[in-house]
Structure 1
Amino acid sequence: MSRPHCPRCCRPLGHCLCALIPRLSSRTRVLILQHPSEVRHALNTARLAALGLSNAELRVGEEFEDLPQWLAQPGYRACLLFPGEGAQSLQAFAGQADERPALLVVPDGTWRKARKLLHLNPVLATLPRVTLVAGLCSRYRLRKAPMPGALSTIEALVAALEVLEAPARYEALLKPFDALIEGQIAAMGEQTFRRNHHPG
């Protein structure tokens, strides 16, 4: 019999993170496109981010037929947070002489699954691509990043919003993420963590 889970954060009731999830506002509209394989992931930081941002929406799927309608929301200028050829820095995008707030589209999944989302939803290729500043380091100490600068979805969103919404800060969004990591380390034991994930 499975343990009861919190219907909001989807964590086991004994490890509910809801008390740590803030409710932060932003002019930027955030649209997270989550690959279905991420829904049951132990971290699922995209869900934590969507719960913590009042102007965010989380959609789960592989093909989003009504995506063109979502992207055409009046009063916003859409962009895709994903590296690639022709991508510009988020700072450059934010600095353009356009008063409209951003509609930030964020694919959520492994790199392979995220690329699949882009392939299955060709309208995403029509959006300007934006990237975060180089050299950011993930706080997720339990997994080796697949490449330099690779961040979890919630970390990438915090970094992006602190550019788009400057001088507002979004660090509070990482509180449940940090608690989640500390809980996983505690569950495996400090010695196991140090042996497997913290050389030196």
Structure 2
Amino acid sequence: MSRRRCSRCARPPSHCLCALVPRLSSRTRVLILQHPAEASHALNTARLAALALENGELRVGESFPELAAQPAHGIYRSCLLFPGAEAVPLAELAQDGRPLQLIVPDGTWRKARRILHLNPPLAALPRVVLPEGLQSRYRLRKAPMAGALSTLEAIVCALNILEGAGRFDAMLQPFEALIEGQIAAMGEAVYRRNHGGDQPG
């Protein structure tokens, strides 16, 4: 028998994060494409990001044929938040007058690349990247490379670049609570042993 979960944030009722999730408007449309393997993960930051954004949407799957028919919902210019040889710094688009649809693959690098492979129109979109030197607050996972962020952190950083520094920082509050809850559940000693925590959680 499966555990009860909140229908909104998908957390157990005793650890529901809904009260901490803001509801923010944005000029930028954020479309998160989540690999199915991530949907049931305990640390599902993409779901938190979608809940926090009035102009955000989360779709789960590997293939998204509808993107070829309506890649930008008319008024938006679509771009893919994903590294690549032709990727440009997101800050370069912040001065453009046309609103953006920021498409964000959610999954491990391998799963995200599979989503791009299965969706050629998506892979063909202009790519943008965040600034170098960013550091994740995601203390429960080792970053696969320097500057790697969780999906929620990447979205917050991107929106702050596009629409004003600090405007979307409130989205990090449930993220921090989620991490603290996971650390508390495993115990400080186990956290330090497995994740090398040198500072209090």
- Structure-2-length-normalised TM-score: 0.95
1:77 maps to what in 2?
77
Aligned match for 1:190, one of 179, 188, 191: 188
Q: After TM superposition, give the deviation of residue 191 of structure 1 in Å.
A: 1.3
CA displacement 1:21-50 (0-9 Å, x = unmatched): 000110000010111001001111100000
Find the aligned partners of 2:2 and 2:72 in 1 and give their Cα distance: 42
Alpha-carbon offset, residue 168 of structure 1: 5.5
Aligned to 1:132: 130
Coordinate RMSD, CA, aligned: 1.2
- In 2, the alpha carbon distance for the partners of 1:129 and 1:90 equals 9
SS, match of residue 71 in structure 1: coil
The equivalent of 1:156 in structure 2 is: 154
- In structure 1, the gaps of 5 or more residues are none
Q: For residue 51 of structure 2, what is the aligned residue in structure 1?
A: 51
- How many residues in Structure 1 have an aligned counterpart in Structure 2? 198
Q: 1:131 to 1:18 in 2, by over 3 A?
A: same
* Gap runs ≥5 in structure 2: none
SS of alignment partner, residue 130 of structure 1: strand
Q: What whole-Å deviation, never above 9, does each CA across 1:141-165 have from its counterpart, x for those lacking one?
A: 1111000011100000000000111
- 2: distance between equivalents of 1:111 and 1:11? 25
SS of match in other structure, 2:58:
strand
List per-residue Cα deviations over 1:60-85 (Å, max 9, x = no partner): 11111111233132211110000011
Question: How many angstroms apart in 1 are the aligned matches of 2:192 and 2:65?
Answer: 46
- Name 2:140's counterpart in structure 1: 142
Q: Distance in 1 between matches of 2:174 and 2:90?
A: 25
CA deviations over 1:63-116 (Å, ceiling 9, x no partner): 111112331322111100000111000011223xx3111100000000000000
Structure 1 letter corresponding to 2:153:
E
Contact 2:72 2:101 in 1 (8 A): no
- Runs of 4+ in structure 1 deviating by more than 3 angstroms, as ranges, are none
SS of residue matched to 1:78:
strand
* Mapped partners of 1:69, 1:21: distance in 2: 32
User: What is the TM-score when the length of structure 1 is the normalising length?
Assistant: 0.95
Look up the match of 1:91. 91
